[in-house]
């Protein structure tokens, strides 16, 4: 990885359970998770795309 801890990186967990769960990462709430729709992610990606 980049040398950042899981708490410093942009990794979040959502309703994960069982072996291998990383409890040191921040947890998304139900409300926070609702914003990550396919449509919203594509809109965000399009806003970051630079066309030369």
pLDDT at 17: 84
Note the pLDDT tens digit of each residue in 7-44.
666 778 888 888 888 777 788 899 999 999 999 989 98
> Which one is predicted more confidently, 34 or 49?
34
Range of the domain at 4: 1-52
Number of domains within the chain? 1
Q: Are 22 and 13 spatial neighbours (Cβ–Cβ below 8 Å)?
A: yes
3-class secondary structure per residue, the chain: CCCCCCCCCCCCECCCCCCCCCCCCCECCHHHHHCCCHHHHHHHHHHHCCCC
Q: Is the model's pLDDT at 52 over the cut of 70?
A: no
Calpha distance 7→10 (Å, rounded): 8
């Amino acid at each position: 990885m980049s040398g950042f801890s899981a708490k410093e990186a942009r990794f979040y967990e959502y309703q994960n359970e069982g072996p291998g769960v990383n409890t040191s990462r921040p947890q998304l709430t139900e409300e926070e998770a609702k914003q990550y729709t396919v449509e919203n992610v594509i809109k965000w990606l399009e806003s970051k795309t630079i066309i030369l």
